[in-house]
Amino acid sequence: MKIVIITGSSGLVGSETAELFHKKKFKVIGIDNDSRSYFFGKSASTKKKSIELKKKLKNYIHFNIDIRNYKKTEKIFKKFKKHIKCIIHTAAQPSHDWAIKEPLTDFNINALGTLNLLMLTKKYTPKSIFIHVSTNKVYGDRPNFLPLLEKKERYEIKKNHKYFNGIDEKMSIDQSTHSLFGSSKTAADIYVQEYGRNLGIKTGIFRLGCITGKNHAGAELHGFLSYLFKAIKNNMKYTIFGYKGKQVRDNIHAKDLAKGFWYFYLKPFPGEVYNLGGGRQNSCSIIEAINLIQKITNKKLSYSISKQNRVGDHIWYITDNSKFKKHYPLWKINYSLKKIIQEMNLINY
């Protein structure tokens, strides 16, 4: 049986990807040590999801190990080497704010952990496909210097601007403020590119923004829509950090993202970078998201707006998916923003 290794397998992206590849008749090797509970507390733990995956997926094997530990990770690659057809690396420390608390931990997880996986792939299974979950934060705050217009509930850009339909992969990652999280993810991003373009591994780099879905264990520092629902349903006070709540994000469902990974697996373009997200049709500001969720839940959210924005945070970011769609014309977004929110409304937070 073909094997896929998925790091961060109990998280939002990892769990959806595990289910998809399992349906495609893969044996799934999940690697996840529930670091999320260390980052964001017990409420953000992914242990429940790892138990669910083991029960739900017949050909799922779980390893509770840390990707920073080269020797323990090596045992997995050494054991399954000739059967490993794909490595999907979703594990990460995902928060701007948290990275400031422990910058070395952030770097070792995001950069060193990625390098460990690349080295093991090259050593034990060099013909495998290596898919890396990167972030749009590699562009730093460069998008903030676009000629943005302030509207009633969101920031926007003129229709005749080249980025009106989204930011593409040609935007520079240099001469900008990234945050420490953005820096560690940029290091990983470039290493994965190098292993694809220089060292012969079939790597693909996916620069993502807001990913969401029913499996998201949202926390204040990470998980925009999920945490909004948690706050509104549990009568929690919500804090918006900067930009008057008019900052814009596009949102992609993890199922749509997982399908993107599948298409890349079938036909890899080694070393390629793809911006992938919900696009303009799935974009909203925080204020717009709050209004929509309040309308659907028929509940009011108590929130305040801090003048202090997060370092490296984007005022406006919409993804241009055109490069990926050119390479993979059969891929499409099935989850609209409304459908995403309606699904999340059914979850017991």
Residue 54 lies in a domain: yes
Give the model confidence (pLDDT) of 176-215 as tens digits: 999 999 999 999 999 999 999 999 999 999 999 999 987 6
Domain that holds residue 134: 3-146+163-215+252-281+318-335
Helices (H), the chain: 12-23, 35-40, 47-56, 70-80, 96-101, 103-107, 113-124, 179-197, 224-233, 254-266, 286-297, 322-327, 337-345
Residue 79 lies in a domain: yes
pLDDT score of 222: 62
Instruction: Write the CATH number for 173.
Output: 3.40.50.720
Give the pairing type, strands 84-89 and 210-212.
Answer: unpaired
Give the model confidence (pLDDT) of 43-98 as tens digits: 889 999 999 999 999 999 999 999 999 999 999 999 999 999 999 999 999 988 89
Residue 342 lies in a domain: no
Residue 32 lies in a domain: yes
DSSP class of residue 153 equals: S
As a whole number of angstroms, the distance between CA 40 and CA 55 comes to 26
Residue 226 lies in a domain: no
Based on the structure, what is the number of domains in the chain?
Answer: 1
Task: Give the distance between the most distant pair of CA atoms in the chain.
Answer: 57
As a whole number of angstroms, the distance between CA 292 and CA 214 comes to 17
Give the pairing type, strands 248-253 and 210-212.
Answer: parallel
Give the model confidence (pLDDT) of 262-275 as tens digits: 999 999 999 999 99
Give yes or no for a contact between 88 and 4, defined as CB atoms under 8 angstroms apart. Answer: yes
Kindly tell me if the per-residue pLDDT of 281 is higher than 70: yes
Residue 234 lies in a domain: no
Averaged confidence pLDDT in the chain: 94
pLDDT score of 47: 94
Residue 308 lies in a domain: no
Give the model confidence (pLDDT) of 224-239 as tens digits: 788 888 888 888 898 9
Residue 18 lies in a domain: yes
Give the model confidence (pLDDT) of 2-55 as tens digits: 999 999 999 999 999 999 999 999 999 999 999 999 998 988 899 999 999 999
Split at pLDDT 50, 70, 90, the class of 217 is low
Split at pLDDT 50, 70, 90, the class of 220 is low
Helix (H, G, I), strand (E, B) or coil at 173: coil
Beta bridge partners of residue 211, listed in sequence order: 252
